Structure 1
Amino acid sequence: MVKICCIGAGYVGGPTMAVIALKCPAIEVVVVDISKPRIDAWNSEQLPIYEPGLDEVVKECRGRNLFFSTDVEKHVAEADIIFVSVNTPTKTRGLGAGKAADLTYWESAARMIADVSKSDKIAQISIYDPQVTEDQIQRDLAMGKFDWDHPMHLQPTSPTAFKQVSVVWDAYEATKNAHGLCILTEWDEFKTLDYQKIYDNMQKPAFVFDGRNVVDPEKLREIGFIVYSIGKPLDAWLKDMPAVA
């Protein structure tokens, strides 16, 4: 069975993985987080967030092919596909304060993924995040970033090394030959993409999971996508607040 692991059990990761588990019953989906209270809430009758219909989806899938755990390293090591859905808030101090994204959580996730990915399994990570720059991702996953105690598995810049992790900063490249597209935040970049071009380059049937309900599902269906929309856009007064995964 294919196993998906999502790092981050917040407003994006939890609902998105629940829908994937519902629509793909042959796939095992595990959502992991270092916050025990948050994971306990996902495993309880009172979910930590509210979305219309989410309770029913989680109750149907939880314990079958949807699981929530604090054992982050175990499930990352076992996963075939890894989603990173962690907070990238705006920096509050230092260079870029008030404008640049604080990548502390992303760097921590990158370090941990690299550290536990010691086997020959493939963990395919496609990341399209306008706040996480190409240079930053390269620095995070390059050998010089961390002091590894085992052979490097996450070197995306080496043309001769087999890449256990693929980091993609172009939306069209990230979706090439993919079965599904997950939209996990409400940045305007997602609204201006050429979805016909994306559809043409994807495998069929092509799925869109819109975790923030920011694209027009009818237009996507006219193109040929199978669309599942959950969540809702941020209220207008929250637009300038830091994004929380």
Structure 2
Amino acid sequence: MDLIYFQQWVLKEYKIDLAAYKSNQLHRRILSLMSRVGVKTVEEYIKLLTSDPLQKQKFLDFITINVTEFFRNPEIFQELSNKIKSELNYNSGLKIWSAACSVGAEPYSLAMIVDDLSSRTNHRIVATDIDSTILQKAKNGEYVYSEIKNVSKQFLDKYFTVKDDKYCINSGIKKMVEFKKHDLILDNFESNFDLIVCRNVVIYFNADIKDKIYKKFSESLKKGGLLFVGATESIYNYKEYGFEKASTFIYKKV
């Protein structure tokens, strides 16, 4: 398989830099996709992706790893809530970034946390992803039970309405979140964030790309700001990026 040629084609057509991913993992994922649709060469697969919008979307979903749910790892989210209370000035309005937000479960979870802490405060949550189709689903704010199963009854009653077996986020929470298309590898980062949440994404990148992203996260945070990562993503050299450990999966910019 000509992986280099395919990477160059994906970068040109979809603006996704596959060279940033761990090559063995990526190779397996692409071969698995090709096998599922019954194509044997890169050229055949490119022809299929070009001609079939459904297969194109399946490829983008598979590569960009759109697996998510509200309050993923609830006990760790509780720890984040505690740190927001103790470390951040939430009564003056927080600027939060949910990076690689997928279908919106994560930024809406964050919105519920900060709204519950200080409902009259003007918080701004920026939610970004590389996938435009996924961002549209996020803006719609409609979910099935498997996606909201970790939401407490208190938050379900307060922030959702149920319509035809769909759980719909209320308009107040929707207004707190601004969705944007963004590539963590290729695009510039905003600054002055109180909190950046990026979970279960950086783990798929190679060491050089991880290093660049963590440096840019640090630069994008205010002094005293927090970085919240996934349950399998400890940053062992966190001091190199100007962080101290605030908790197992939470780092504070010093």
TM-score, with length taken from structure 1: 0.37
Give the number of the structure whose residues are more often helix, by fraction.
2
Q: Say which one has the larger Rg.
A: 2
TM-score, with length taken from structure 2: 0.36
